[in-house]
A and B are shown apart, each in its own frame.
Chain A
Amino acid sequence: MSVKVHLHPYLTEGGEAQVELEGKTVGECIKGLVARFPAMQTKLFAKPDKLHGYIEILVNAQPTVPKELAYPVSDGDEITILVFLSGG
């Protein structure tokens, strides 16, 4: 089981833009992501199980809101984490 995760530059700060993770749901994959990059926890989550309003997660280009973390993924899927840049 391997899922490709594309990361927004707000999260990576110049690090890897793409990582391979394991999991059956978006939430499980994100857990693995945060285990690998602990600094992403506060950038992604407002509360332990609640993403910030400026974060959205696509699976194979499909928006997964409102239940992003429970959204199922399988081998070969691609997760993209979007960050809304609200400045103008």
Chain B
Amino acid sequence: MSTPLTDQDLVRYNRQIILPDFGEEGQKKLRQATVFIAGAGGLGSPVSIYLACAGIGHLVLVDYESVDISNLNRQILHWEEDVGEKKVVSGNWKLKRLNSTLDVTPHATRVTAENVGVLLDGVDLVMDCLDNMESRFILNETCFRKGIPFIHGGLRGLMGEVTTIIPGDTPCLECLFPRSPERTEPFPVFGATAALVASLQVLEAIKLLAEFGELLTGRMLYIDGKQMQFRSIRMKKNPQCRICGGGV
């Protein structure tokens, strides 16, 4: 079912197609993929931009918020002229201009237990770019039930974390954090920290979709930008997990 790349695709994506691990086959896999981006903020901005650049065929962008001036230190998908506009409207406009060959489906809604099943219909991969735990837990659970890989990113200040969750194979978010952490908004953050975490999430997405390289599965990568230390921590599934462990 894979249609050949166009001449324009071969030129546009040449610098990634010439990577032997990736090639034209990898590019086709990206073009066939539907990636769900939960959150069009600090992480969602660079995540959606780099996925669009890389040639992901279909992006589903979900965020219920509107652009605020205080977002602009990090949310590079939104500009001064977008203040007051829905983030998915602002994002859709930029992404379509960046890469007109893509389909972008914007949803100006919060991810809830009620709508998550429909939102994730036909989705191959979920990028966790959220800033709250409630929606993350809802997505984590639904991804597990539907067998959709989930690339988690999180940040605070100069620190960040990334892990790739493959339903059934790796620990899920609730294996580690079954209690909903207290809300601590607003959290401190630099745009560059968000960009760093987002870039790592996108690298994971590309490798996962194009099937090459090593993923951050069963590992949490911690970034400490203040001391400039990166560390990955091995994690196992929790047999008592409510979602994936058969516990209660």
A residues lining the B interface (CB < 8 Å): 6, 8-10, 14, 17, 46, 52-54, 56, 58, 61-63, 65-66, 80, 82, 84-88
Given that A58-B233, A63-B235, A63-B236 are contacting pairs, would A85 and B175 also be in contact in the complex, using a CB cutoff of 8 Å? no
Contact of A65 among B129, B184, B231, B238 (CB under 8 A): B238
Chain B residues contacting A52 (CB-CB under 8 Å) are 181-182
Cα A9 to Cα B240 with chains together (Å): 27
Q: How far is the CB of B55 from chain A (nearest CB, A)?
A: 24
A86 touches B235 (CB 8 A): no
Contact of B156 among A53, A56, A63, A87 (CB under 8 A): A87
Chain A contact residues, majority secondary structure? loop
| Total count of chain B residues near the partner, CB < 8 A | 47
Chain B residues contacting A17 (CB-CB under 8 Å) are 229, 231
Q: How far is the CB of B236 from chain A (nearest CB, A)?
A: 5
Q: How far is the CB of B237 from chain A (nearest CB, A)?
A: 8
Chain A residues contacting B231 (CB-CB under 8 Å) are 17
Given that A8-B222, A87-B131 are contacting pairs, would A65 and B176 also be in contact in the complex, using a CB cutoff of 8 Å? yes
Chain B residues contacting A61 (CB-CB under 8 Å) are 233-236
A65 touches B240 (CB 8 A): yes
Cα A86 to Cα B197 with chains together (Å): 12
B39 — nearest CB in chain A belongs to which residue? A88
A54 — nearest CB in chain B belongs to which residue? B181
B187 touches A86 (CB 8 A): yes
Residue-by-residue, is B177-192 near A (CB-CB < 8 Å gives 1, otherwise 0)? 1111110100101000
Chain A residues contacting B97 (CB-CB under 8 Å) are none
Chain B residues contacting A54 (CB-CB under 8 Å) are 177, 181-182
Chain B residues contacting A85 (CB-CB under 8 Å) are 154-156, 159-161
Cα A63 to Cα B241 with chains together (Å): 10
Q: How far is the CB of B209 from chain A (nearest CB, A)?
A: 21
A62 — nearest CB in chain B belongs to which residue? B236
Chain B residues contacting A87 (CB-CB under 8 Å) are 42, 131, 154-156, 187, 189
Across the A-B interface, the 5 shortest Cβ-Cβ residue pairs: A53-B181, A9-B224, A54-B181, A85-B154, A63-B238
Chain A residues contacting B222 (CB-CB under 8 Å) are 8-9
Chain A residues contacting B171 (CB-CB under 8 Å) are 63
Q: How far is the CB of B181 from chain A (nearest CB, A)?
A: 4
Given that A14-B227, A85-B154 are contacting pairs, would A56 and B177 also be in contact in the complex, using a CB cutoff of 8 Å? yes
A56 — nearest CB in chain B belongs to which residue? B176
Chain A residues contacting B149 (CB-CB under 8 Å) are none
Q: Is residue B132 contacting chain A, with contact meaning CB distance below 8 A?
A: yes
Q: How far is the CB of A86 from chain B (nearest CB, A)?
A: 5
> Interface centre among A10, A52, A54, by most B CB within 10 Å?
A54
Cα A14 to Cα B227 with chains together (Å): 6
Cα A30 to Cα B26 with chains together (Å): 47
Q: How far is the CB of B148 from chain A (nearest CB, A)?
A: 19
Q: How far is the CB of B215 from chain A (nearest CB, A)?
A: 17
